[in-house]
Structure 1
Amino acid sequence: MNKAPSGKPQATNQSAADGLQFAACGFELPPLALYIHIPWCVKKCPYCDFNSHAAGPTLPEQEYVDALLADLDQDLPRVHGRPLRSIFFGGGTPSLFSAKALGRLLEGVERRIPFATDIEITLEANPGTFEQAKFRDYRALGINRLSIGVQSFQAEKLKALGRIHDGDEAIRAADMARAAGFANFNLDLMHGLPEQSIEDALGDLRIAIAQAPTHLSWYQLTLEPNTLFWSQPPTLPEDDILWDIQEAGQALLAEHGYAQYEVSAYAQPGKAARHNLNYWSFGDFLGIGAGAHAKLSSPQGVIARSWKTRLPKDYLDPGKAFSAGERLLGPDELPFEFLMNVLRLTDGVASSLFTERTGLPLRVLAAAREEAEQRGLLQRDPARLVATREGQLFLNDLLQHFLP
């Protein structure tokens, strides 16, 4: 097992979590996933608030893989014998890394944590970084799912979004994904773009559907703090147009066999993203890499969220710690934390999952649940926790009932 780089503080496996114990009634350790953050992009997009940074002429692949494995070493005591059900390479643009670097990383991860036999391994990629030979090599490593950041197929919309590819490249990327052996891939597509009409939005969707992806992430552009669009906002469609785009787009996706299973996720039968389903069902996930986040449980029912050093130069500095902070979730916070995730799912979850994932009895939800049901935001179904159609549309209003 690799040690952390010289001077990098080692984990003591002692944290404030040791002092926060509560009665875990029926608690079960959730399934475990791994998120790996690759923080570099060709350029920073004006709408992006993710931890991404413009890449220089060369990437520190070897040093970063070394740091990722050392970071993982420090988190191993929190695995508690569980196999990895999924791995997700996010960013940034992970496809900027060579297959050799990702192969060494995956080998190192598997030496430390066993992989489930049906593990899902997803790599985010942008059309401008596609090379067919490179993607065949990725597939040979065991990466079995791609998530391709298309956002739009229209030249003027791509220019407004600061994207480096064009519509033809996006179409070729889907073709190359199939040719490289990826039978399972997602297309990321935005709507509500600057000056976008309903016809523009549906045109993008039709082109995306024609590429026959197994999964579509179709979500509305929002203006986020600390982005160029926040300080220099573009002209976005009016609310009435946004609503019409949403309704027409959902109908078009359903017509072509893409079932909505989450706020912005649509999939062909059996192709829902297992990694994201783990997030939304309050599963556990390790997070390694600059700025990566994690949510981890102990066998005693103590649940913590943690995050890693954000800037790549600090993450790679052997004199600085990987860990940037940790927050324990107390019993009063768990109902909101749990529901904030599971109510994104269109079918919700079995009510029993609340106790399995939090260790709290279902009765702690009773009063807030009744209020939400009376307002028509939560379905009256004792066996399930599921938002109504109105509750999905006004999810923040629904969640307000469960704030601590």
Structure 2
Amino acid sequence: MNKLQLPPLSLYVHIPWCVRKCPYCDFNSHQLAAGAHQAKDGLPEAEYVAQLKRDLHSQLAWVQGRRLVSIFFGGGTPSLFSPAAIRAVLEAAERAVGFADDIEITLEANPGTFEQEKFAGYRAAGVNRLSIGVQSFDPQQLHNLGRIHTGDEAAEALGMARRAGFDNINLDLMHGLPKQTGEQALADLRRAVELEPEHISWYQLTIEPNTAFYNAPPPTPGSARIAAMQAGGREYLAEQGYGRYEVSAYSRPGLAARHNLNYWSFGDYLGIGAGAHGKVTLLGEGNLVRSRRTRAPRDYLALLEETAGVLASPRAEAIAHDELPVEFLMNALRLVDGVPRETFPAYTGLSLAVLEQRWPGLRAMELVQPLERRIAASAFGFDYLDEILQRFLVLTDPGLESRWRNPH
């Protein structure tokens, strides 16, 4: 084992409530009762914020002298929470851990009018990046996806965010939607580009278990049509100055999402909130651990009563050494340019020889780039990342693939 180094540290804050559960969503989100948009209507904002603070304090031993380089409020719909609540969480995090001078703080927001009214408050609270969940500008597709906003409201949301002082905005868009044509997908991208966001997340609709779409699948385009759709969209985004730096992420130069870059570069992150996951490096113990909190908001809030006001550290399990290479590659290969080769021994503690012994077989299939400087997929292999991982597992140990896919 090589000596581990501490990577940068981020914080993920999960807000699990939403106004309506979308039929494609498999995230840990829970629909509020009709009309329950505010704390007095059933959103336990104050109680949840207090629990988030306790949750963070329970993990301070994992900080190990670092400051936070990024914070991401995800959901659910974090913009259901008031600016005062977001400010309280940020102030607690700054006091307890500390912020890097150039910290990126992102909050996911939906384009409904109720959320728009709070944008100025979020900016004043310290949020400096918004991620607006548009998904489509097409009225029929918004209906298909169960969204509660219109295309015009989405455009107005970005305008209001600009007026509130945000100069770093991401728009979330989906493609491969029910009966969607390539021209319709491109029309969504054109509309998004007209709004001049700094970042666009453009990802394919996938049908996941435990969703309404899984139980009643919509008629989505075939694989050939989706491939053509993706090729046309990538070409258009490149022409408009949005560089693709990750599987589904495009940005203006220098404006890639730093929080997600830390994930994909195998950095560390604390996770607080119902269902939140974390991954941290423990130098004293010489290993890496995953952590997670209970998913149900009611159970998460009940942890307070069970622990007499003090939250225990989240359940953590060490990542087995034979799983670390695939865990690393699952993240690093999502980046178009991959990561510097020295990142692997520094952040896993494993010798680079673990990769070097298997890389020639992947190179022979033209799936990866040479390993001299960076760990990265080839232009061809970037569209077959699952294939790279499967091949790596087989090259490592024919029995390891089944153990990795079926850990129980």
Distance 1:353 1:133 in 2: 43
Alignment of 1:3-402 (within 5 A): 23=1, 25-56=2-33, 57=36, 58=41, 59-300=43-284, 301-317=286-302, 318-320=304-306, 325-402=315-392
Residue in 2 that maps onto 1:6: none
Distance 2:141 2:179 in 1: 9
Shift of 1:326: 2.7
Distance 1:402 1:79 in 2: 32
Distance 2:306 2:150 in 1: 40
Q: Deviations over 1:314-344 (max 9, x none)?
A: 0011244766643311221111110110000
Shift of 1:93: 0.3
Q: Deviations over 1:285-333 (max 9, x none)?
A: 0000000000001114310111101000000112447666433112211
Distance 1:343 1:87 in 2: 23
Distance 1:275 1:114 in 2: 16
> Partner amino acid for 2:349?
G
Whether the 8 Å CA contact 1:40–1:52 is kept in 2: the answer is yes
Distance 1:356 1:106 in 2: 30
> Partner amino acid for 1:306?
S
Which is worse superposed, 95-104 or 319-328?
Answer: 319-328
Distance 1:353 1:74 in 2: 29
Whether the 8 Å CA contact 2:359–2:371 is kept in 1: the answer is no
> Partner amino acid for 2:130?
L
Quickly say closer, same or farther: Cα 1:129–1:372, change in 2 above 3 A.
farther
| Runs of 4+ more than 4 Å apart | 129-133, 320-324
> Partner amino acid for 2:28?
N
Q: Deviations over 1:33-65 (max 9, x none)?
A: 000000000010000000000123221111000
Shift of 1:131: 4.5
Distance 1:168 1:140 in 2: 25
Whether the 8 Å CA contact 1:96–1:129 is kept in 2: the answer is no
- Any unmatched runs of 5+ in structure 2? 394-399, 401-408
Task: Tell me how many residue pairs correspond in the alignment.
Answer: 381
Residue in 2 that maps onto 1:7: none
The secondary structure found in structure 2 opposite 1:150 is strand
Distance 2:124 2:321 in 1: 44
- What is the percentage of aligned positions where both structures have the same residue? 57
Residue in 1 that maps onto 2:405: none
Whether the 8 Å CA contact 1:153–1:204 is kept in 2: the answer is yes
Whether the 8 Å CA contact 2:341–2:372 is kept in 1: the answer is yes
Quickly say closer, same or farther: Cα 1:356–1:132, change in 2 above 3 A.
same
Distance 1:108 1:202 in 2: 43
> Partner amino acid for 1:197?
T
The secondary structure found in structure 1 opposite 2:112 is helix
> Partner amino acid for 1:37?
H
> Partner amino acid for 2:14?
H
The secondary structure found in structure 1 opposite 2:102 is strand
Alignment RMSD (CA, Å)? 1.3
Whether the 8 Å CA contact 1:128–1:169 is kept in 2: the answer is yes
Whether the 8 Å CA contact 1:368–1:401 is kept in 2: the answer is no
> Partner amino acid for 1:33?
S
Distance 2:368 2:354 in 1: 16
Which is worse superposed, 312-321 or 139-148?
Answer: 312-321
Which is worse superposed, 379-388 or 79-88?
Answer: 379-388
Quickly say closer, same or farther: Cα 1:367–1:381, change in 2 above 3 A.
closer
Distance 1:68 1:135 in 2: 22
Distance 2:113 2:330 in 1: 34
TM-score (norm 1): 0.92
Shift of 1:129: 5.0
